[in-house]
Structure 1
Amino acid sequence: MIDADDLRYFLEVARTGRLVAAGKGLGVNHSTVGRRITALERALGNRLFDRVPTGWVLTDAGHELVVQAESIESALLAAMEGAASGGGRLSGTVRVATPDGFGAFILAPHLDELCAQNPDLDIEIVTATRHDVLATREFDVAVTLERPSPRAVDISELADYRLGLYASAGYLESHPRISHVLDLHDHPLIGYVDSLLDVPALRILDEVLPGHRTRIQTNNITGQWTATAAGLGVSALPLYVGDPDPTLVRILPEEVTVLRKYWLIVPRELQRLARVRTAIATLRSIAANHDSLITRVG
Structure 2
Amino acid sequence: MFTSDNLRFLLELSRTGRISDTSKRLGVDQTTVSRRISRLEKDMGARLFDRGVSGWQLTEAGRRLVPYAESIESTLLSALGETTASASPSLNGTVRILTPDGFGAFVLVPGLRSVRVRHPDLYTEVLTSTTHDVLTGRDFDVAVTLERPSPRSVVVSKLADYNLRLYASRRYLETHESISSVDDLRHHTLVWYVDAFLDVEPLRILDRILPTGRAQIQTNNIAGHYEAVRHGVGIAPLPTYIGATDDDLVPVLRDEFVIRRSYWLVVPRELIRLARVRAISDALHEIVDRNPDLRAR
3-state SS of 2:136 partner: helix
Moved over 4 A (4+): 72-76, 81-85
Paired residues for 1:155-166 under 5 Å:
155-166=156-167
Question: Which residue does 1:227 correspond to in 2?
Answer: 228
Q: Is the 8 A contact 1:270 1:276 kept in 2?
A: yes
Question: Which residue does 1:243 correspond to in 2?
Answer: 244
Question: Which residue does 1:91 correspond to in 2?
Answer: 92
Q: Is the 8 A contact 1:92 1:120 kept in 2?
A: yes
**Letter aligned with residue 99 of structure 2:** T
TM-score, length-normalised on structure 2?
0.73
Q: Is the 8 A contact 2:206 2:214 kept in 1?
A: no
Q: Deviations over 1:250-281 (max 9, x none)?
A: 10111100000000000000011100000000
Question: Which residue does 1:18 correspond to in 2?
Answer: none
Question: Which residue does 2:135 correspond to in 1?
Answer: 134
Question: Which residue does 2:202 correspond to in 1?
Answer: 201
**Letter aligned with residue 26 of structure 1:** A
Q: Is the 8 A contact 1:133 1:139 kept in 2?
A: no
TM-score, length-normalised on structure 1?
0.73
Paired residues for 1:255-266 under 5 Å:
255-266=256-267
Q: Deviations over 1:71-121 (max 9, x none)?
A: x99664322367799x62200101111000000111111111111110100
Q: Deviations over 1:119-163 (max 9, x none)?
A: 100111110011343110111000000011212100110110000
Question: Alignment RMSD, CA only?
Answer: 2.7
3-state SS of 1:135 partner: coil
Number of aligned residue pairs: give it.
235
Instruction: Give 1:197 deviation, angstroms.
Output: 1.1
> C-alpha distance in 2, partners of 1:201/1:119?
36
Question: Which residue does 1:117 correspond to in 2?
Answer: 118
Instruction: Give 1:183 deviation, angstroms.
Output: 0.1
> C-alpha distance in 1, partners of 2:176/2:151?
48
Paired residues for 1:164-175 under 5 Å:
164-175=165-176
3-state SS of 1:161 partner: strand
> C-alpha distance in 1, partners of 2:219/2:66?
40
Instruction: Give 1:205 deviation, angstroms.
Output: 1.6
**Letter aligned with residue 196 of structure 1:** F
Paired residues for 1:5-24 under 5 Å:
none
Is 1:79 the counterpart of 2:72? The answer is: yes
Question: Which residue does 1:192 correspond to in 2?
Answer: 193
Note closer, same or farther for the CA distance 1:96–1:73 as it changes in structure 2 (3 Å cut): closer
Q: Is the 8 A contact 1:74 1:272 kept in 2?
A: no
Point out the structure with the larger helix share: 1
Question: Which residue does 1:285 correspond to in 2?
Answer: 286
Q: Is the 8 A contact 2:189 2:215 kept in 1?
A: yes
**Letter aligned with residue 239 of structure 2:** P
Note closer, same or farther for the CA distance 1:213–1:75 as it changes in structure 2 (3 Å cut): closer
> C-alpha distance in 1, partners of 2:177/2:196?
30
Q: Is the 8 A contact 1:74 1:271 kept in 2?
A: no
> C-alpha distance in 2, partners of 1:77/1:131?
29
3-state SS of 2:139 partner: coil
Q: Is the 8 A contact 1:73 1:269 kept in 2?
A: no
**Letter aligned with residue 238 of structure 1:** P
**Letter aligned with residue 280 of structure 2:** A
Q: Deviations over 1:156-194 (max 9, x none)?
A: 101100000011110110100000010000001000001
**Letter aligned with residue 267 of structure 2:** V
Note closer, same or farther for the CA distance 1:216–1:150 as it changes in structure 2 (3 Å cut): same
Instruction: Give 1:207 deviation, angstroms.
Output: 2.1
Instruction: Give 1:25 deviation, angstroms.
Output: 4.2
Is 1:26 the counterpart of 2:61? The answer is: yes
In structure 2, stretches of 5+ residues that fail to align are: 5-39, 46-58, 78-83
Q: Is the 8 A contact 2:166 2:235 kept in 1?
A: yes
3-state SS of 2:223 partner: helix
Question: Which residue does 1:41 correspond to in 2?
Answer: none
> C-alpha distance in 1, partners of 2:92/2:67?
17
